């Protein structure tokens, strides 16, 4: 009886959702949070220029966890690439895009907010689109 109970408990522990599963879906750049970056000049003119630039970029992501495809939309540009999982531990997921070979790191702040950064340490705050 005890071995059966242990197997049941182990199977329940292994059923947790991976970070890749959590990332599946559509994400949108959170312009309001991006404008809170302490490195940005806080005067009204600079903020309006920064907001206009971020709105023009209009970064969205569509992530297909099962098909291992990531589609990046930025303004009028669309880039679709396959990816492999480099690491998935704690609150961080690292994906390597097959075409460019670039790493994209995702740090989960909560279920609906992630920080995405690339090899050049450019970071975008993303919110889940509902």
pLDDT tens for residues 82-122? 999 999 999 999 999 998 899 999 999 999 999 999 999 88
Question: Please, is 29 exposed, middle or buried when counting C-beta atoms within 10 Å of its C-beta (0-12, 13-18, 19+)?
Answer: buried
Kindly list the distances between the CA atom of residue 121 and the CA atoms of 14, 103, 116, in Å, as whole numbers in the listed order.
Answer: 32, 10, 9
Looking at the predicted structure, is the pLDDT value of residue 5 above 70? no
3-class SS at 76? coil
pLDDT of residue 70: 94
User: Which sequence spans correspond to the domains of the chain?
Assistant: 18-128
Task: Please tell me the CATH superfamily of domain 18-128, with its number.
Answer: Pab87 octamerisation domain (2.40.128.210)
pLDDT of residue 16: 65
Whole-prediction pTM: 0.79
């Amino acid at each position: 009886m005890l071995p059966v109970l242990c197997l049941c408990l182990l199977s329940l522990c292994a059923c947790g959702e991976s970070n890749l599963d959590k990332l599946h879906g559509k994400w949108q750049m959170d312009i309001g949070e991006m404008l809170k970056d302490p490195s940005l000049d806080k005067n009204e003119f600079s903020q309006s220029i920064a907001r206009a630039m971020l709105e023009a970029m209009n970064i969205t992501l569509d992530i297909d966890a099962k098909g291992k495809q990531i589609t990046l939309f930025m303004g009028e540009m669309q880039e679709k690439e396959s990816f492999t999982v480099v690491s998935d531990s704690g609150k961080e997921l690292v994906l390597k895009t097959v075409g460019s070979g670039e790493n994209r790191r995702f740090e989960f702040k909560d279920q609906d907010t992630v920080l995405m950064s690339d090899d050049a340490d450019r970071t975008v705050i993303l919110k889940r689109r509902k």
